[in-house]
Structure 1
Amino acid sequence: VTDFEIAKLVKSNDKPGTNVTGSSDMAPINSLLELIVKIYPNAKNVGVMYSSSEINSERQVQIFKEEAKKYNLSVREATVSNVNDIQQAAQSLVGKVDLIYTPTDNTIASAVPALIKITEKAKLPVFAGEGGEVKGGATAAIAIDYYELGKIAGTMAAEILEGKAKPETMPIQYQKNFKTVFNEASVKNLGLTIPADVKHELVK
């Protein structure tokens, strides 16, 4: 879950007020935007692809659009309702945007190769919300680590079971340390130069 409050699972992310708490997979959107403008300083238009039926994706896109204003980036949305829409949505952005951003979105994540088939041909970089998409061919991500999130949730559960905390007063927790990952084939295809001061990992 990205935003427990938006998903109506808790009264507030800081103080749940229900018997639900946990770890959020909210990606560091502002850090990703910083990376985007560092690599593509002349970018003006960003395409955003996500599923219109996923509340968590809509929330991330809302944040992305707000943050993008700070960098004078114009955002063009292309929504999908299922995996069959992905190629058409990607094609609708070709020639109109400088790059594409995908939030942590189940529909997009389940069909990354379909997206990459279009973007690779169009030499359009894809910045993703999670690292798994980079392994699938997206250009880069400041990656959410679901294993790390599981450990955070496990620690929270242990505290509740040991009586040290109650879910209703335990704030939603977030990943604090992120890795920047690039896809080697995408970097090569785009002729991309990664700035020397960007600490990163390459995946194949």
Structure 2
Amino acid sequence: MTENRKEEILEAYRFRHACKEFDPTKLISDDDFAFIMETGRLSPSSFGFEPWTFVVVQNRTIREKLLPVTWGAQKQLPTSSHFVIILSRTLADLTSDSPHIQKMMAEVQLLPGEARQRKGNVYHNFLENDFKLLGDERLAFEWGCRQSYIALGNMMTAAAQIGIDSCPIEGFDKEKVEQILIEEGIMDDRFGIACMVAFGYRVREPRPKTRQSLEHIVKWV
């Protein structure tokens, strides 16, 4: 049973590829897409503070507005069943005394007062001394983005395991895309765009997957 499960997981990784064009006539069911998003929700994050928000862009007008400033999704934006923009929080929302962090500890993690204080102190020390993120807007944002990519990977793998294709996308003008989202009332300055990902069903089979061998990328010490 274990060997079969391992082979099923590896087969999903072999199936998954950066799908450049989807079949626009095939839509992901609500149940299947909810499953994909649930794997994103359950993904791990540093201190469990979930710095992300997932914006599912199904509005065709907004997709058309994004197209001229999203050069890496010229085929994916018009054809994908579901298109997701992953936002990551900025420094103002990541400090230990920010409303988001305080809410996470009190209302999500349900920590009592003393435990919140202890965890908040440890987290503040981490930001200030271990990773030196305080005072550096860009570095703090990129730290949040790295965590968002964990959710991205989990969602793409989960999709592949049920036969759904995906494509991660970084090919966009970040400033212009964010301006569109702000104008549409989708995001504010507490967030920035980490990445995008399209989901759907392939229209053609991909080329064989190419990767380096384990011997070239794994070092045992």
Question: What TM-score range do you get, normalising by the shorter chain?
Answer: under 0.3
- Using the size of structure 1 for normalisation, the TM-score is 0.23
Higher strand share: 1
In our comparison, the structure showing a higher alpha carbon Rg is: 2
- Using the size of structure 2 for normalisation, the TM-score is 0.22
Greater relative contact order structure (CA < 8 Å, 6+ sep):
2
Higher helix share: 2
